[in-house]
């Protein structure tokens, strides 16, 4: 699929990995719709209003995402060819804490609701629009790029909600691929390792940070959202033969106990 001239939705596009993906798609000539819960990231797209639509919306809300899709069509036409689902939260908490108390159920549900249900909500609503659109070369109508995490396989202590939610995102990939194949819609997932984003900076302990870095093979550093993550997003969109797969981008990291 060609990126230039097509329209892509990026959730969580106001910061971190989502911002990097949105900026890369813009650089490659796409129209980009940035959906974020906060409008702080809007300033990053100043002067690019012709090719950018910034929408403040909650990815878990059907009403708000339907409205965002309608706004997309009004600005760029029925030309939505992809969605990059970067919207998510990091929820920290062990199933039973050091004080002997179980993890608050609402805390666990929050991570699942945003990371898993929010991703599914956006996919289902965007897919319903994509199938109405005219197919491109080889009958392709669109592509879903969902962001999981290596935590879905290498979950750390205290990441039970996060790992479960990202595991759900990874596990949806193949059945979603099979559901949408007949419409010419591809589905892929990216499982990033430890990247230098605002989310990773929530790890305040220097001991924990150094332990995490020690489990990365080569290069033993934080991943770069610009030049590494965003380039992978673009490749997965452009390479029509990439479908139904979860791609780890982690410099060979296999996270163990902290």
Determine which one of 152, 162, 218, 241 is catalytic.
162
Coil, helix or strand at residue 110: helix
Residue 244 DSSP class: S
- CA nearest to 117, candidates 71, 166, 151, 82: 166
In what helix (H) or strand (E) does residue 116 lie, and over which residues does it extend?
Answer: none
DSSP string, 47-94: T-TTTEEEEE--TT-HHHHHHHHHHHHHHH-S-EEEEEE-------B-
Distances from the Cα of 19 to the Cαs of 64, 125, 200, 217, in angstroms? 20, 22, 15, 27
C-alpha to C-alpha distance for 210 and 19, rounded to whole angstroms: 26
Residue 102 DSSP class: B
The DSSP bridge partners found for residue 50 are none
C-alpha to C-alpha distance for 248 and 194, rounded to whole angstroms: 11
Let me know if 241 is a catalytic residue.
Answer: no
Which are the catalytic amino acids?
162
């Amino acid at each position: 699929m060609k990126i230039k001239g097509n329209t892509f939705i990026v959730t969580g596009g106001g910061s971190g990995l989502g911002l990097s993906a949105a900026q890369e798609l813009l650089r490659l000539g796409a129209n980009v719709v940035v959906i974020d819960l906060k409008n702080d990231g809007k300033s990053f797209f100043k002067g690019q209003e012709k090719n950018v639509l910034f929408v403040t919306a909650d990815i878990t809300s059907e009403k708000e995402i339907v409205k965002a899709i309608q706004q997309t069509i009004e600005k760029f036409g029925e030309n939505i060819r992809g969605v990059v689902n970067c919207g998510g939260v990091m929820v920290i908490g062990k199933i039973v804490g050091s004080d002997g108390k179980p993890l608050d159920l609402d805390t666990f549900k929050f991570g699942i609701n945003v990371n898993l249900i929010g991703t599914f909500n956006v996919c289902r609503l965007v897919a319903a629009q994509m199938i109405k659109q005219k197919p491109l070369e080889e009958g392709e109508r669109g592509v879903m790029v969902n962001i999981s995490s290596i935590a879905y396989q290498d979950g750390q202590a205290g990441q039970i909600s996060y790992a479960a939610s990202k595991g759900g995102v990874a596990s949806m990939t193949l059945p979603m691929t099979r559901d949408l194949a007949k419409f010419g819609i591809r589905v892929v997932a990216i499982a990033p390792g430890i990247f230098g984003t605002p989310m990773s900076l929530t790890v305040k302990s220097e001991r924990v940070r150094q332990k995490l870095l020690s489990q990365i093979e080569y290069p033993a550093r934080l991943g770069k959202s610009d030049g590494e993550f965003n380039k992978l997003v673009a490749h997965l969109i452009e390479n029509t033969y990439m479908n139904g797969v979860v791609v780890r981008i982690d410099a060979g990291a296999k996270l163990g106990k902290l």
